[in-house]
Amino acid sequence: MKNSIGTSVILTLAGESHGPMICAVLDGLAPGIPVDETYIASRLSLRRSQGPTDTARREQDAFSIVSGVFNGHTTGAPITILIPNEDVRSADYERGLARPSHADYTAHVKYGGFEDWRGGGHFSGRITAGIVAAGAIALSALGRKGITIGTHILECAGVRDEGFSETDSAGQIEKLQDMSFPVLSDVREAMEARILEAKAAQDSVGGILETAVCGLPAGVGEPWFGSVEGVLANAIMSIGGIKGVEFGSGFALAGMCGSEANDAFCVKEGKVLTRTNHNGGVNGGISNGMPLIFRAVVKPTPSIGKPQPSVDLDSCTEAELQIRGRHDPAIVRRASIVVSSLTAIVLCDLLAQRFGTDYLK
């Protein structure tokens, strides 16, 4: 298994959905960075199940930091964060019946039947709690350097929010910071209604998340295989349920002429900027100082209550499956803080490579 990401600042994840705990190790941060456990708890609360549009599984995420932090600051050693699993019901899961669009079949093939299949095991969205806990340290470190990150639900079940301003989204990011259902306009009730309709029909819905980063200096990233887009896309596509990422105007660029798609340069208050931001803050794989903007597609939760055709992996025979257990009719809300958190970790890594590990000190 490959469970680590990063070159200078490295995140490693461990644990299973119904195992004793989730573990995240964040290695490579400079010593002397403040660590606020209250802030970590607040970010975890944004990911936690909160009502009828989320799973009925209620985890308190009572984390503990067991290494790498002393007297409220990083020591330079690896930071290890443990998050216990307390509200598990393994009896809801049946060995051998592959859940459509889950990793059950592929994990069974790759790991020869030795994988932990309870609740999706290591493939479960539960593991993202570790991303959020570690990401909170990265988010706060970036914030002290004037780099802010926000993610909102751009679309859910056909209901669309307003988008980020392509040239000045700092105020919108600030608005989202502690929002449990992150949207920029008055669409929460309509989105929640669509989610609850799907839940009542024993079904699920997907959506689109949009992320903006403001304050990222120009000159970060590498051409070709170390591009800002490439590194971020690799990370974001690693989050379960995300099936596509686009930067700036993305696929809409295919319908434009060059005269429309080009971001003309200008000078404002002594800084080189662009008048538009169709390229999402990146040119040649390197940040250009404009807001970094990208969108991620989140598929409908594959765990639904409707009966579905399946296969018994032990006997290799066709079977009917009706999933039990507690599942989200939409994961897009809870995934928003996961995307922001992993984005922060990736940017800390890119900044450390560009300016050195003491940049975040």
Q: Evaluate whether 149 touches 344 at the Cβ level (below 8 Å).
A: yes
pLDDT of residue 294 exceeding 80 = yes
Confidence of residue 90 (pLDDT cuts 50, 70, 90): low
> Mind listing the pLDDT tens digit for each residue in 222-260?
999 999 999 999 999 999 999 999 999 999 999 999 999
- pLDDT confidence of residue 322: 84
Query: CB-based contacts of 104: which residues, under 8 Å, 6+ apart?
Result: 97, 98, 117, 120, 313
pTM of the model: 0.95
| Segment 40-57 mean pLDDT | 90
Confidence of residue 104 (pLDDT cuts 50, 70, 90): confident
pLDDT of residue 326 exceeding 80 = no
If one counts the domains in the chain, the total is 1
The residue segments making up the domain with residue 285 are 4-360
- The CATH number of residue 202's host domain is 3.60.150.10
Query: CB-based contacts of 82: which residues, under 8 Å, 6+ apart?
Result: 21, 22, 23, 63, 64, 66
| Segment 107-128 mean pLDDT | 88
Q: How do 69-70 and 4-5 pair as beta strands? A: unpaired
> Looking up tokens 């050693």, which residue turns up?
77
pLDDT of residue 139 exceeding 80 = yes
Whole-angstrom distance, CA of residue 228 vs CA of residue 222:
7
Whole-angstrom distance, CA of residue 205 vs CA of residue 328:
9
Confidence of residue 96 (pLDDT cuts 50, 70, 90): confident
